[in-house]
Chain A
Amino acid sequence: MKLYDRILPPRVLELPNGKQILKYRSRAPLWALAVVLLTALSVKVTGFDMGILAARIREFFVILGEMLPPDWGYLSQVWQPLFDTIKMSLLGSAIGSLLVVPFAMLASTNIIRSRLVVSAVRLLLSIVRTLPTLVTALIATYIFGLGTLAGTTAIAIFTFAYIGKILYEEIETVDMGAFEAMEAMGATKARAFVSSIVPQVLPSYLSNCLFCFEGNVRYASILGYVGAGGLGLILNEKIGWREYSSVGMILAVLFVTVFIIETISRAARRRLVQGGEHE
């Protein structure tokens, strides 16, 4: 940055009282340059070609056109996998978000004083978070066999990692007064945690769990691709057979389901957040 200021010297402004201040030049050109260079590299590596895109983008809408209108006769066969998907995401989200609570507690610097424990648990959470859900689902299918149990496990692991990070950040920002008072009165760490910190983080925790559940419903539909049950299974099958009108039906059902779940969950989350502010 010193070199940058030497090339583009800062503007000197003189205040009415004779004091001189420096106005440094904007760093934006540097960022812009970095973005342009990276874009150029990416274009080269990925073989991005506007010509091909312009010439053949029609092909994209061919499949889309075949999906419309959706095949209503197929609707009766969609319900079972749809319910499987919802069940998988519901159970997986619940298991993951409950299981992570003690880990989140161990990862909060204001509750656990030992740096070692905190960093170890955080590292664990980070590594679990970077594991792609498809990979955990695929491994789960080898262990639990093909089916919804594998999908539930994968979703639970994803939820575990996602909620864990948010929860320990949330716990670290709470007001520690009540917790310290209870510890001073001889309560154990767990007891003090339940009575003083849980009420503070509960609304946002529930809200985040609901948000994660919304996303999981959408994500669970992919997991069927590796054989982990749910909508993805029939989606994959119908795409393989090129029955695009059935694919359209599946996607339409998924869209309506996600819309309903999001609407309910958004209403619930708004209530949770406002309730937390009023009380």
Chain B
Amino acid sequence: MNKRIEEAYAGRPRRWVFELVIALITVALLIWSGTAVETSGTTQNGAKIAWNILAGIFHPDTGLLFNLTTQGVPYLLLETICIAFLGTVVGAVISIPLAFLSASNLTPAPVAFIGRLAIMAIRTVPAFVYGLMFIRVTGPGAFAGLLTMSLCSVGMVSKMYIEAIEDLDTKVLESLDAAGCTSWQKIRYGILPQLMPNFASTAIYRFDINLRDATVLGLVGAGGIGAPLIFAMNSYRWNEAGAILAGLIVLVLLVEWISTKIRVKLARG
């Protein structure tokens, strides 16, 4: 028995050359990237600054946190939720035709390839560039933020929709065909039930991410909670930043908890 185990162990696949090469490449890359770290900018009292920041953040400005006017955290959070929600809805709706066009099992290969390239291009452009472009269209404010969110959502959502479409079980469609169903019936009973849970789950997941990314929009003045947060931090008002961050963290955790519940329910049917 032991001998057989030893024989099997001696005959195990040897890939150490391959593994060594990969390891060497990885280490070389890491050393190369280590050159980017320059510590010259580090201030002597970095630890003190960090302590001050933390002290400020953990003593949030409660006046701002529970202020019910349009300047207060609750209203800003509501605005952020609205931007993220509508952005997700618009993005998800735009993604549907785009994803069907770029799914390699439905469209000819060249069309699908161009579609994928376009989706990747949309994903590559950083959000604040879109933000600046949309501000020219609508002026600064929540509207611009909403349009930016929609475009950013299209990039990721359509990519995941494509994967869902390519995973479609075509046997169901064939049997519906055999039963003499019309195209419309095939879509209603063959395609929609397969795609809906997946699409809904992706959209909810993206809503989660959009809520998190809302701070990015604030950079360019595209509405939501980002702008006041960045302003507060740039002017070292850490109490205010703490209040806004506290609100944002609680909201994101809450939404994540709910969205996980819904998505688990969707996945189990």
Q: Which residues of A contact B (CB under 8 A)?
A: 35, 38-39, 41-43, 45-49, 52-53, 56-57, 59-60, 62-64, 83-84, 86-88, 90-91, 94, 126-127, 130-132, 134-135, 138-139, 142-150, 152, 218, 221-222, 225-226, 229, 232, 235-236, 239, 247, 251, 254-255, 258-259, 262, 279
- Name the CB-closest residue of A to B12: A279
Query: CB within 8 A of A47: which of B36, B141, B230?
Result: B141
Please tell me which one of the listed residues A43, A64, A91, A225 contacts residue B219 in the complex, with CB atoms under 8 A apart: A225
Interface flag for B2 (CB, 8 Å): no
Chain B residues with CB under 8 Å of A38's CB are 85
Choose one: A60, A94, A127; the contact of B136 (CB below 8 Å). Answer: A60
Chain B residues whose CB sits within 8 angstroms of the CB of A225 once the complex forms: 128, 219
Contacts of B89 on A, CB cut-off 8 Å? 35, 39, 42
Using an 8 Å CB-CB cutoff, how does the interface string of B142-165 with A read, 1 for contact, 0 for none? 110111000000000000000000
The contact of B216 among A49, A134, A235, by CB within 8 Å, is A134
A46 touches B35 (CB 8 A): no
A46 touches B83 (CB 8 A): yes
Q: A59 contacts which chain B residues (CB < 8 A)?
A: 136-137
Per DSSP, chain B at the interface is helix
Instruction: Tell me how many residue pairs across A and B have CB atoms closer than 8 Å.
Output: 170
Shortest CB–CB separation between residue B231 and chain A, in angstroms? Answer: 11
Contact A45 B78 (CB under 8 A): yes
Interface residues of B (CB under 8 A from A): 13, 29-30, 32-43, 46-47, 49-50, 53, 78-79, 81-83, 85-86, 89, 120-121, 123-129, 132-134, 136-138, 141-143, 145-147, 212-213, 215-216, 219, 223, 229-230, 233-234, 241, 245, 248-249, 252-253, 256
**B182 CB, nearest partner CB in chain A, Å:** 22
Question: What are 10 A-B contacts with C-beta separation under 8 Å?
Answer: A46-B143, A47-B141, A48-B146, A63-B133, A88-B33, A94-B33, A130-B253, A132-B248, A150-B41, A251-B129
The one of A126, A145, A235, A258 that contacts B120, using a Cβ cutoff of 8 Å: A258
Interface of chain A, main secondary structure: helix
Pair B146/A46 contact, Cβ less than 8 Å: yes
Question: A231 CA to B83 CA in the complex, in Å?
Answer: 27
Distance of A251 Cα from B53 Cα, bound (Å): 34
Q: Are A63 and B143 in contact (CB under 8 A)?
A: no
The answer to whether A145 and B146 touch across the interface, beta carbons within 8 angstroms, is no
Is there contact, CB below 8 Å, between B79 and A45?
A: yes
16 more A-B residue pairs beyond the given contacts A91-B34, A149-B39, with a C-beta to C-beta distance below 8 A: A46-B82, A52-B137, A57-B137, A87-B33, A87-B34, A88-B33, A91-B37, A127-B253, A135-B215, A135-B229, A142-B49, A142-B53, A144-B42, A226-B219, A255-B124, A258-B124
